[in-house]
Each structure stands twice: as structure tokens, then as C-alpha cells.
């Protein structure tokens, strides 16, 4: 089966044809390193890690180049460093290191390259100069701005008229702009802000410019796939396309644009003001990284995720079952079954691939050796079953050390009472609460026993 990808640019599912099969190239927007990454940030990291694995399987490990950048110059970084009374470098180094630790726990493979914005200022200055020479940018009051009216293709990715884009964008009102939609390529820096010398004075680059310069350096003026979250389509990716195509004189920046949907917490948009802001780091204290990864992958990447303790508990239960029947399977020389790969090639249909894993688990549980081997091989392909069976059983959440046995026993009894009363909703709610405490329940005809999982 041919790999098919839903292309945001064309708004249809298309057969994937790389520009060069010996060097398949993908760029994904990475983190702005000023704070712990939240679980919404984890979704594109996991989605495009999965695509990276699939591309390497199809074309060869050494024939796929995946670049994910780090934004380490940004106004949010400046504000946070000032708030914490530390240097910008100290903040960005500390935050980038934490990001790497967190996503490694999610079993994410390192990308082929991870350029940092501050290491590529020269390339950005060169790109701005080229845009100015070609009549696509202008200088005004120490700023350099992209002239949106100079690009007749502007708006093709988001497929919205200019008036709609203006209404939906947080447009910075400034007298020096020719057009309210014109966006910053370079802006002046005060002595307290990070800055670099340039033909337009000491300053720093605009956010959109960073990805255009870095992707061109490492992947070329045109490449295969550009990915990121749905929220980046406009203005970030729209502006990237304008900068890149106008600077290089190319028709496209990337041939395929892929965007993952949003993530909601218990049905609500994640927000600090709502008190439901969840970081990867915080979640890892209570849940194994593979559980978080599976929970993220149980929903197709182009569908919104409703994140909840219940879905985490479901993911934990599935992994418990997989480890139980297949952890010791010998998979040397075993390739994932064709149906499994075919599901992934259909626009990265991971939920369908997971359904195949559940089916394999069912047969493996009946003693079928081949199914156990396939289960483990396919699970590892997606980044699961990296631990031994004992390591998996021994993992405990940080809160496990604080567990009150009397409280657990009371909750177990309350769950039994709810089941006797046929109050299944209450029984499930109590079970989910116990799972968050790291408690594994074992129901039998003789009653319910528990242990710390």
C-alpha cells in the first residue's frame, strides 16, 4: 500500500511521493523553551515521532531526515527570565534539558537534527536582505516587515480571505506598517533584551522567520513534509510559506502540510485560568511514559483528544495486558504484519493499528506464539513495550510512597458497595481514582485484592 497523507494545503488525502527517495525530509515546529511543556505540546511530538518511524521503515533508516527546531529567542522567554531573575541562556538551557528528559520518557526518538534559533541569526539576516532586495520586505522605524500584498499566494494554506484572516488574527496595530497584516521579520532590542547586530540596527528576529531559515539550511529550499499543531496553520505556517517561497523563488516550501488537532482536558480547553493546565513532567510523576504515549495515540491525529483519567486508565490496562502475554516473546527477525503497516500508511491511522494489537493480544492470550511475537514487534514499532515484564510491574508513581492503606481499603470497599448497588458509574469513578494512586485491582470470585502497580 502507498503511504497516504492528508495535506492541509490541498485539503485532501494524497499519495505521498517524496522529492528524493534517498533523502525524505520532514520539518516540525518544536518548543519555545521558557516553561515546562504541557501535554498539548506532547501531541505533535508523538504524532510526528510515529510518522518518523514509519518513514524510516518504508524508505530506510538512513534515508529520512527529520528536523525539529528549538525556539530560544522569544518575548515569552525574555519575560520569564526577568521574572525568575536569571539569564536568558540559563532559562533556555534548563528548559530545553527538561523538555528532552520529558519526551524521552514518552519513548520519542531523537530527531535527525535539532537546530536552535540563536545559532542561525546569520541565516535569518541573509533571508531578510534577500526579501528586501526582491521587494517583499521593507524597513520602518527600526523594524523590518514582510509586505503581505507582495505575495499573491498569501492565505493559500489557511484558505481564508484576507479580511477573515485579519479578523481572526491578533494583529499588532502599528503606524509604521503599510498593511495591518504585514508581519515582523526583525525588530529592535533594548539593552536589556537579547540582540544581534544587523544592517537595520541591533535587534532580534521575528518568530516566523526562524523556521524558514532553519528548514532551508537543513532540508533545502523545498522539502517533503512540514508538520505541527492545528493552531500553527495561521499565522505561523502561512507566514513561513510566504517568507520561504518569496525569498527562494520557489512555488512551494513543503509539498505536504500535516497538522494535528487540539487536546482538551475532561472536555474543556486546557487553561491555567481553569486550573486544568497539565505538564508532561507533572503527568510523568503519576503515569508511566508509555501510558501517556498510548493515551495520546488512541485518537486519530486529525481528531481532537478528550484527555481524562479514564482514558489514561484504559491505556494502562491495555499495556498491562500486552506486557502480560508478550513481554518475553522472542521477536528477532520478526517484521510487523502487513495489515498493521497498512493501517499506518493510511494517513497514520494509529487507532486502527492499535485495534490490531488488541486482536493479537486476544490470540496471544490463548497461547498463540506467533500472535505474541507480532504483538510485541508491532507494539515496539509504535514505541511501546520497551521495558522487561518485571520493570513494567515494578514501576510506581511518585505518590505511591504516600499511599494510605486504610484509605485504599476504604475505597476498595466503596467500589464493591457501588457494584453491589449496580451503580457502575460510581464504581468506575472509584476505580479510576485508585488507578491514579498506582493501585492495581484484582477482582475474583473470592473478592477484590489490590497491589501497588
Q: Between vectors from CA 63 to CA 65 and to CA 231, what angle results, nearest 5°?
A: 30
* DSSP strand pairing (64-68 vs 183-188): unpaired
Average pLDDT of the residues in 119-142: 97
Evaluated on CA atoms 152, 156, 161, 162, the torsion sign reads negative
Average pLDDT of the residues in 25-53: 97
Confidence (pLDDT) at 166: 61
Evaluated on CA atoms 366, 368, 372, 374, the torsion sign reads negative
Cα(427)–Cα(421) distance, integer angstroms: 10
Contact 140, 256 (CB under 8 A): no
Average pLDDT of the residues in 266-290: 82
Percentage of residues in the chain having pLDDT higher than 90: 78
Percentage of residues in the chain having pLDDT higher than 70: 94
Give the containing element (helix H, strand E) for 431.
Answer: helix 424-436
Q: How confident is the model at residue 452 (pLDDT cuts 50, 70, 90)?
A: low
Alpha helix positions (H), 60-148: 75-84, 88-105, 121-133
Q: Between vectors from CA 297 to CA 295 and to CA 302, what angle results, nearest 5°?
A: 125
Confidence (pLDDT) at 175: 84
Q: Is the pLDDT of residue 127 over 70?
A: yes
Q: How many CA atoms lie within 13 A of 430 on its CB side?
A: 19
Q: Is the pLDDT of residue 114 over 60?
A: yes
Q: How confident is the model at residue 126 (pLDDT cuts 50, 70, 90)?
A: very high
Confidence (pLDDT) at 260: 98
Average pLDDT of the residues in 41-63: 98
| Residue for grid cell 505536504 | 256
Confidence (pLDDT) at 86: 93
| DSSP 8-state code for residue 352 | H
Q: Is the pLDDT of residue 357 over 80?
A: yes
List all residues 6 or more positions away from 376 whose beta carbon is below 8 Å from its beta carbon: 322, 326, 327, 329, 331, 334, 385
Q: Is the pLDDT of residue 204 over 70?
A: yes
Average pLDDT of the residues in 384-401: 89
Taking only the tens place, the pLDDT of each residue in 395-404 is 988 877 666 7
Q: How confident is the model at residue 56 (pLDDT cuts 50, 70, 90)?
A: very high
Q: How confident is the model at residue 279 (pLDDT cuts 50, 70, 90)?
A: very high
Cα(408)–Cα(417) distance, integer angstroms: 14
Confidence (pLDDT) at 425: 83
Q: Residue 246's closest CA among 178, 146, 123, 159?
A: 146
Q: Judging by beta carbons within 10 Å of its beta carbon (0-12, 13-18, 19+), is residue 29 exposed, middle or buried?
A: buried
Average pLDDT of the residues in 316-322: 95
Average pLDDT of the residues in 305-315: 92
Confidence (pLDDT) at 27: 98
List all residues 6 or more positions away from 300 whose beta carbon is below 8 Å from its beta carbon: 348, 349, 350, 351
Q: Residue 389's closest CA among 297, 303, 436, 453?
A: 453
Q: How confident is the model at residue 450 (pLDDT cuts 50, 70, 90)?
A: confident
pLDDT, averaged across the chain: 92
Cα(208)–Cα(231) distance, integer angstroms: 14
Q: Cis before residue 219, ω within 30 degrees of 0?
A: no
In the three-class reduction of DSSP (H, G, I as helix; E, B as strand; rest coil), residue 438 is classed as coil
Confidence (pLDDT) at 25: 98
Q: Which of 104-108, 172-176, 253-257, 313-317 is the least confident region? A: 172-176
Q: How confident is the model at residue 170 (pLDDT cuts 50, 70, 90)?
A: low
Q: How confident is the model at residue 429 (pLDDT cuts 50, 70, 90)?
A: confident
Q: How confident is the model at residue 162 (pLDDT cuts 50, 70, 90)?
A: low
Q: Which of 135-149, 248-262, 365-379, 400-414 is the least confident region? A: 400-414
List all residues 6 or more positions away from 184 whose beta carbon is below 8 Å from its beta carbon: 143, 144, 145, 146, 172, 206
Amino acid at each position: 500500500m502507498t503511504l497516504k497523507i492528508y495535506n492541509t494545503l490541498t485539503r485532501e488525502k494524497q499519495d505521498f511521493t517524496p522529492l528524493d527517495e534517498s533523502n525524505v525530509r520532514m520539518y516540525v515546529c518544536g518548543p519555545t523553551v521558557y516553561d515546562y511543556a504541557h501535554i498539548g505540546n506532547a501531541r505533535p511530538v508523538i504524532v510526528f515521532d510515529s510518522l518518523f518511524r514509519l518513514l524510516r521503515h518504508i524508505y530506510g533508516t538512513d534515508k529520512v531526515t527529520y528536523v525539529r527546531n528549538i525556539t530560544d529567542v522569544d518575548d515569552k522567554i525574555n519575560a520569564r527570565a526577568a521574572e525568575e531573575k536569571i539569564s536568558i541562556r540559563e532559562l533556555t538551557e534548563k528548559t530545553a534539558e527538561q523538555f528532552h528528559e520529558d519526551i524521552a520518557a514518552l519513548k520519542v526518538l531523537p530527531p535527525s537534527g535539532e537546530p536552535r534559533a540563536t545559532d542561525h541569526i546569520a541565516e535569518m539576516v541573509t533571508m531578510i536582505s534577500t526579501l528586501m532586495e526582491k521587494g517583499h520586505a521593507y524597513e520602518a522605524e527600526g523594524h523590518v516587515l514582510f509586505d503581505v500584498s507582495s505575495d499573491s499566494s498569501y492565505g493559500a494554506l489557511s484558505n481564508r480571505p484576507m479580511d477573515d484572516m485579519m479578523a481572526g488574527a491578533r494583529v499588532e496595530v502599528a503606524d509604521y506598517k503599510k498593511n495591518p497584516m504585514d508581519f515582523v521579520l526583525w525588530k529592535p532590542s533594548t539593552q536589556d533584551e537579547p540582540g544581534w547586530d544587523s544592517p537595520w540596527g541591533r535587534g532580534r528576529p521575528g518568530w516566523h522567520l526562524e523556521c524558514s531559515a532553519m528548514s532551508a539550511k537543513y532540508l533545502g529550499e523545498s522539502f517533503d513534509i512540514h508538520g505541527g499543531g492545528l493552531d500553527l496553520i495561521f499565522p505561523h505556517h502561512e507566514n513561513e510559506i510566504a517568507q520561504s517561497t518569496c525569498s527562494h523563488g520557489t512555488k512551494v516550501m513543503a509539498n505536504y502540510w500535516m497538522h494535528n488537532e487540539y487536546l482538551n482536558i475532561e472536555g474543556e480547553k486546557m487553561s491555567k485560568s481553569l486550573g486544568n493546565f497539565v505538564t508532561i513532567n507533572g503527568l510523568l510523576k503519576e503515569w508511566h511514559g508509555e501510558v501517556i504515549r498510548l493515551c495520546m495515540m488512541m485518537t486519530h491525529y486529525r481528531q481532537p483528544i478528550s484527555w481524562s483519567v479514564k482514558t489514561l486508565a484504559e491505556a494502562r490496562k491495555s499495556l498491562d495486558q500486552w506486557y502480560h502475554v508478550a513481554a518475553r516473546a522472542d521477536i528477532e527477525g520478526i517484521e510487523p504484519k502487513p495489515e498493521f503497516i497498512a493501517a499506518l500508511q493510511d494517513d497514520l491511522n494509529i487507532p486502527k493499528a492499535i485495534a490490531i494489537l488488541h486482536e493479537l493480544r486476544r490470540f496471544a492470550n490463548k497461547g498463540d506464539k506467533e500472535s505474541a511475537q507480532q504483538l510485541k514487534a508491532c507494539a515496539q514499532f509504535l514505541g511501546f513495550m520497551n521495558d522487561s515484564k518485571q520493570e513494567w510491574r515494578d514501576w510506581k508513581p511518585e505518590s505511591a510512597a504516600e499511599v494510605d492503606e486504610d484509605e485504599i481499603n476504604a475505597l476498595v470497599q466503596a467500589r464493591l458497595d457501588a457494584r453491589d448497588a449496580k451503580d457502575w458509574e460510581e464504581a468506575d469513578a472509584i476505580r479510576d481514582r485508585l488507578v491514579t494512586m498506582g493501585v492495581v485491582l484484582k477482582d475474583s470470585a473470592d473478592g477484590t485484592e489490590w497491589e501497588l502497580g
